[in-house]
Amino acid sequence: MRLRHRVVGLGHTAPAAGSVTTPERVRRMRELTAAAARGESLLLCAEPREPVAGAMRATADLATLGAFVFAYATGRPVPTVLAVSDSHAEPGTFAGDRLVHHEGPIGRAHRWLAGMAWAPRLDTAESAFLTRLIKAWGFAMAYGGEPAEVARMLTADQFSALPLPGTVSPLVRQTTDGSRYSLVSPGVFVGDGTGRPAGEQAGDLVNTVVLRLRRGLPADELARLCARFDPDRVPGKLVVLVPPLPDRRLAAYVTAAGGQHMPTWVLGPGSGPGSGARLRRMHEVLAGLGAHLGGVWLDGRGRRLEQIVRLATVISSQHSVPILDRTA
């Protein structure tokens, strides 16, 4: 069984903030939310119309809103890609930083969404729609997000009253990098840095443990972690985030995890020259060993990123998944 994912293009975004949530975009997002709720696994792609700070901010807001919608609908994080021009001269507003660091969706996008939800130019239905997203802002951590920032916001007094749909108290888990995370939704982890369990989690929410592969981690250590976190050998219990690795090293990890645990693998080909070819080879390694492909963790800029996105689209189509048009 393979986890199939659909590559979703959110289109170009102009600098004007109002271009982020036009009625057409909101309608489009609702349609995709319905598809996600039916079980589609989505990889979001967004790019600015021009490499200026305003367009970068609008694009980051658009991608963040998309991550809100789809993660809320599916109860799991959504890989999000932002195409960034090599000529962008303001690294402080680089869209990737907004998703990863302090000014990411956990803080800035929540304030942005809060303002949009009550804007007079939105009708009641749109306001209610965005208000619902605000209540689910904790799900905005997509792959590449920073769990510590989510934790700080979750513990802030002003957000303590906001319900997290479908959650009870968090249950602490630990990843291979030594960080501790709390499960607030299937596949969405946050951490408070204390390592202290905050309570018990009920029902089927305790069904995913994310393992981050560090370079140099022995293959037998991965096998030990799999046995520790998946003692019952439940398919889909484990998600392994894979950094750029040589073919043999990746094959050793996949073999170590074995068919007993059947983890979901999320490939990270990195950026720079050769990243596209690396992604192709990593995918071939997984396919050759019958491993479960969960997605592609993309990182890059300009044309290189565009090439990787196209390759990810090809990989998606190989899994018999229809590709949505990129004109949203």
Domain count within the chain: 1
Mean pLDDT of 209-230: 78
Give me the chain's average pLDDT, please: 51
**Would you say residue 203 lies in a domain?**
yes
pLDDT at 301: 43
**Would you say residue 325 lies in a domain?**
no
Tokens 């019952």 found at = 232
159 SS3 class: helix
Q: What is the pLDDT of residues 118-141, one digit of tens each?
A: 444 444 544 444 444 444 333 333
**Would you say residue 198 lies in a domain?**
yes
Contact 194, 225 (CB under 8 A): no
**Would you say residue 244 lies in a domain?**
yes
pLDDT at 89: 29
Residue of higher predicted confidence among 113 and 186: 113
| Phi/psi-derived region of residue 84, left when phi > 0, alpha when psi is between -120 and 50, beta in every other case | beta
Q: What is the pLDDT of residues 62-80, one digit of tens each?
A: 555 555 545 444 445 555 4
pLDDT at 276: 72
Percentage of residues of the chain with pLDDT beyond 90: 3
pLDDT at 254: 93
Mean pLDDT of 7-34: 50
Q: What kind and span of H or E run contains 114?
A: helix 110-117
Residue of higher predicted confidence among 286 and 35: 286
**Would you say residue 140 lies in a domain?**
yes
| Phi/psi-derived region of residue 267, left when phi > 0, alpha when psi is between -120 and 50, beta in every other case | beta
Q: Is pLDDT of 328 > 70?
A: no
pLDDT at 255: 93
pLDDT at 263: 81
pLDDT at 319: 42
pLDDT at 311: 55
pLDDT at 79: 52
3-state secondary structure 257-325: HHHHHCCEEEEEEECCCCHHHHHHHHHHHHHHCCCEEEEEEECCCHHHHHHHHHHHHHHHHHCCCCCCC
Percentage of residues of the chain with pLDDT beyond 70: 22
**Would you say residue 183 lies in a domain?**
yes
**Would you say residue 327 lies in a domain?**
no
**Residue 247's pLDDT band (cuts 50, 70, 90):** very high
Mean pLDDT of 10-32: 49
Q: How far apart are CA 274 and CA 232, in angstroms?
A: 39
Tally of helices (H runs) and strands (E runs) in the chain: 10, 10
pLDDT at 16: 38
Sort strands 264-270 and 238-242 into parallel, antiparallel or unpaired. Answer: parallel
The domain of 214 spans 5-318
**Would you say residue 175 lies in a domain?**
yes
For the record, the structure tokens of 146 come out as: 């920073």
Give me the DSSP letters along 51-98.
SSHHHHHHHHHHHHHHHHHHHHHHTS---EEE---TT---GGG-HHHH
pLDDT at 253: 93
Least confident of 153-157, 190-194, 289-293: 190-194
Contact 98, 105 (CB under 8 A): yes
Q: Is pLDDT of 288 > 70?
A: yes
Q: How far apart are CA 191 and CA 196, in angstroms?
A: 10
Q: What kind and span of H or E run contains 133?
A: helix 124-135
pLDDT at 67: 54
Q: Is pLDDT of 166 > 50?
A: no
Q: How far apart are CA 265 and CA 241, in angstroms?
A: 6
Q: Is pLDDT of 295 > 50?
A: yes
